[in-house]
Structure 1
Amino acid sequence: MAIINGYEQSENEKELDILNLPSLEAQAKEIIPKGGFGYIVGGSEDEWTLHANRSAFTHKQIVPKALSNIENPLTDTSVFGLNLKTPIMMAPAAAQGLAHVKGEVDTAKGVASVGGLMAQSTYSSTSIADTAAAGDGAPQFFQLYMSKDWTFNESLLDEAKRAGVKAIILTVDATVDGYREEDIVNHFQFPIPMANLTKFSEGDGAGKGIGEIYAAAAQKIGPDDVRRIIEYTDLPVIVKGIESAEDALYAVGAGAAGVYVSNHGGRQLNGGPASFDVLEDVAKAVHGRVPVIFDSGVRRGSDVFKALASGADLVAIGRPAIYGLALGGAQGVASVFNHLNDELKIIMQLAGTQTIEDVKHAPLLNIRY
């Protein structure tokens, strides 16, 4: 273990033998310090929406197809002009140094090794440039938590462009932080500097609570902000935190190159819908004009299949990859992606789908218990 400001960081670097992704949470809890683990695992209020994200996948069932002459399904896909080996991507999750001493650098290495897409957060433990370099040319997106200070936003966007990111993800559902009781109980403050804050104008993030970090965030975000970022960067902008057809249409109307269906893993608006329950409506509203990314609650290959069949083009994971990071560094992250991809291939085979494009057209049964 490495220690920074009294906080112990994992230095594990090993391939993982994974039974399933849900089992990783308990294993990670054993090595991530209590405050850091609470920040990673926790949702808002009584975590109703966090738990609904998992149960929502039971609302649709996959239709088995046995006489389809399928073998060796392929998970390659092309989205946003990028050729990827898997439709599973890394969500932009903050402060990964809480899980591992190398943080986002190891996550980027792990995701690149499986041919996936990495998204890095404004509140990363490592810098935009270092995280991008760790991917060794693999595609990455940069996620912007828009600040009240536009100069600060420009600094981040400028570095992201210099680092060669392929798109900007604008998060719009975090203008204030959700009421996260795990952090309150643990009196959690970030023990590790956030590289993007250190380099610019808002302190380093260390010693602050999540509320203090979010206090600098823009509390008003609208379609004009989407247009402004597009004009400033000349990069595709994907709007993250979409949970209604109305917001999806606003985003596309403002020129967004993609919409990202997410409820922030149940960390923001408690009592809101599970992301999977709104995915189909959002995808229908978008009607193929731009790609759709989906996250929140994904733990199984069947979850990935159902999301793709409900209108997603890419499916992102957050917590499971961070648990893999804590347990095995870059190799642990790769192990998580490989396991989920292997589960997806089994489901594809049994559902009679050869390619990811086939999955997108696969029928699902709508059944609510």
Structure 2
Amino acid sequence: MTLVCLSDFESYAKKHLPKAVWDFIAGGADECWTRDNNLTAYKKICFRPRLLRDVSALDTKTTILGSEISFPVGIAPTGFHKMTCPDGEQSTARAAEAMNTCYIASTYSTCSVEEIAAAAPTGVQWFQLYIHKRRDLSEQLVRRIESSGFQALVLTADLPYAGKRRDDLRNTLQFLSSFTLKNFEGAFEDNDYSEYGLPRDSMDSSISWKDIAWLKSLTHLPLIIKGILTKEDAELAVRHGVQGIIVSNHGGRQLDGVPATIDALVEVTAAVQGKVEVYLDGGIRTGSDVLKALALGAKCVFIGRPALWGLAYKGEKGLQQVLKILKDEFRLSMALAGCRNVSEIDQRLVQYSRL
């Protein structure tokens, strides 16, 4: 079987994964308008390519928080990777290391932070954090992250409560009970667990901007906030001294009806005025999508569902294939648009379609 684009991996995963697992990965909140708009928004953006630019030598490398990566596509935090391949997040970490790009490991990993770090000791690894009501567990996890060698901490800010995901409610997600959230193994005695393997209502919905200082006091790692979609919150993030922002709507899995991330990107990048690095996730399916996101101000983009499709295909090797396809497509899109390196990509390269 020859898979030549990310939609081929999507089709394979949908065919071979159990229905409840596929629905969990693919699903969005409520009517899935935001999930779908993340994809269609890219189709409204056109290129303004420049010609005769001598693109015989191309360089796709960039840096994020001072770490060089081979191209501006990393792996977004998603949970429960063992539902797609036996080695779970260890396979994900190794694939990212092999492709010399960044992997953001999830709080809800089925491998521990120590196992993930050990699997890819030379990789660029960040860690995504949810704050739980038991703040002591979050504090312990932050210290484990730092001692394991992760290079940045990513706070997900858009999940004070989980969005309503209809297929998950229909399926009851019983399959998740067979996976252990390794970062919390042995932490709870309460038997009243949610489908996500943690006590019900364990998420701290009281988290606010004042807690950024508390979080920063726990670690020397750079702090990135994930989930920002407005200039107002982008300005607050800068004011509170974070080092990065990920423009994200949680893959359309939280508040349905928010903008596609590519549409929110310009507002956020304009608000921060280059004071922090801005990244994006949501809807990236081709190398030309990557180029559009960089032209509109993203320093790097991150893929969520496509990484899981790659794992479902051939584990670590399948995810490497997904990343290689994106890298090759991005390189070709750069060349055809007249960009020799990422520093030549700017907003003059794109325009919104009038159609």
Does TM, scored on the shorter chain, surpass 0.5?
Answer: yes
How far off its partner does 1:214 sit? 6.7
Structure 1 gap ranges (5+):
1-15
How far off its partner does 1:124 sit? 0.4
How far off its partner does 1:203 sit? 6.9
Match for 2:248 among 259, 262, 280? Answer: 262
- SS of the residue 2:52 aligns to: coil
Instruction: Note if contact 1:197-1:203 (Cα within 8 Å) is conserved in structure 2.
Output: no
Task: Report the equivalent of 1:367.
Answer: 353
Match for 1:194 among 181, 185, 201? Answer: 181
Give the residue type in structure 2 aligned to 1:188: L
- Residue correspondence of structure 1 range 332-343 to structure 2 within 5 A: 332-343=318-329
In 2, the alpha carbon distance for the partners of 1:169 and 1:204 equals: 29
Instruction: Note if contact 1:129-1:163 (Cα within 8 Å) is conserved in structure 2.
Output: yes
Q: CA 1:85–1:61 in 2, change beyond 3 Å: closer, same or farther?
A: same
Instruction: Note if contact 1:177-1:214 (Cα within 8 Å) is conserved in structure 2.
Output: no
Give the residue type in structure 2 aligned to 1:99: T
Question: Given the alignment of the two structures, is residue 156 of structure 1 paired with residue 165 of structure 2, yes or no?
Answer: no
Q: Percent identity?
A: 35
Task: Report the equivalent of 1:278.
Answer: 264
- Residue correspondence of structure 1 range 30-109 to structure 2 within 5 A: 30-109=15-94
How far off its partner does 1:120 sit? 0.2
In 2, the alpha carbon distance for the partners of 1:292 and 1:318 equals: 17
Task: Report the equivalent of 2:226.
Answer: 240
How far off its partner does 1:363 sit? 2.2
Q: CA 1:343–1:332 in 2, change beyond 3 Å: closer, same or farther?
A: same
In 2, the alpha carbon distance for the partners of 1:362 and 1:318 equals: 28
Q: CA 1:133–1:362 in 2, change beyond 3 Å: closer, same or farther?
A: farther
Give the residue type in structure 1 aligned to 2:24: Y
How far off its partner does 1:368 sit? 4.7
Coordinate RMSD, CA, aligned: 1.8
Task: Report the equivalent of 2:298.
Answer: 312
In 1, the alpha carbon distance for the partners of 2:189 and 2:17 equals: 27
- SS of the residue 1:123 aligns to: coil
Structure 2 gap ranges (5+):
none
Instruction: Note if contact 1:152-1:201 (Cα within 8 Å) is conserved in structure 2.
Output: no
Could you report, residue by residue, the CA deviation over 1:269-318 in whole angstroms, capped at 9, with x for unpaired residues?
10111111110110010111010110001101111000011010010001
How far off its partner does 1:79 sit? 1.6
Task: Report the equivalent of 2:110.
Answer: 125
In 2, the alpha carbon distance for the partners of 1:84 and 1:343 equals: 17
In 2, the alpha carbon distance for the partners of 1:173 and 1:368 equals: 32
How far off its partner does 1:74 sit? 1.2
Give the residue type in structure 2 aligned to 1:24: F
Q: CA 1:131–1:368 in 2, change beyond 3 Å: closer, same or farther?
A: farther
Task: Report the equivalent of 2:130.
Answer: 145
More deviation in 353-362 or 189-198? 353-362
- SS of the residue 2:307 aligns to: helix
Could you report, residue by residue, the CA deviation over 1:138-194 in whole angstroms, capped at 9, with x for unpaired residues?
110010011111101111101101110101000000111110011012121313111
Match for 2:120 among 114, 135, 138? Answer: 135
Task: Report the equivalent of 2:314.
Answer: 328
More deviation in 192-201 or 51-60? 192-201
